[in-house]
Every structure is written in structure tokens, then in C-alpha cells.
Structure 1
């Protein structure tokens, strides 16, 4: 997903995020990365919709959390 962000490939990034969320729906990483991909491409409505979906599902990004 980081490569999708780097190269601006929204389609493959979306697919990768969906597959990652199937494995662990409560993991905030794929959603945050996808939100960043949307924002970098100027798709602000999609980024906001994704973040609102995270809020509704109770998924929160841990501050300063990194692999």
C-alpha cells in the first residue's frame, strides 16, 4: 500500500486495503494508508468517508504507532 501511495495507484491500493481488512477488520493501518492515498490524489470526499467509517466501526489509529 505504501507503493500505491508513492505511485498514486488508487485502484490497487483499494484492493490491497480490502484484502488486509478482510484479514483483520479492526486494524487501523490499511484504512489510514488508504485515506492518505485518497488525500494525495485530491479525493477528499473519499478520504473523509473512509475516516467516518472508521469512527462508526470503532476503529481508531493509535497515536505514534508504527511497524
Structure 2
């Protein structure tokens, strides 16, 4: 039987925490008061910035 890969699980938790923190910072910077604005393009869980592919970013962002 295979042993659990604890370092992989830890890395996934760290990535989820980082993503949540970035989304919170993005919402704060955009001035949105609610958790899920209707017109926000990144509401589906895409990262707000960082190393996201260009096609995942909203139009007008470089």
C-alpha cells in the first residue's frame, strides 16, 4: 500500500490559502463590499493576479 504524500497535501493547502488571500486583496483593492460581485470576471475562482495565464485575466489587464 502506498504511503500518503504529506508534502503534496501541505503544498495544496498553502496554495489554497495563498489564492484566498489574493482574492481577498483583489476585492479590497477593487472597492467591492460584497463577497461575490455579479460583474466581477474572476468570480469563478481564477486568481486575481500573479502567475495566471494571460487568457484568464480580464480584458485590459497586461
Between the two structures, name the one with larger relative contact order (CA 8 Å, sep ≥ 6). Answer: 1
For the criterion TM > 0.5, the same-fold answer is: no
Structure richer in helix, relative to its length: 1
Q: What is the TM-score when the length of structure 2 is the normalising length?
A: 0.30
Which protein is bigger by CA-based radius of gyration? 2
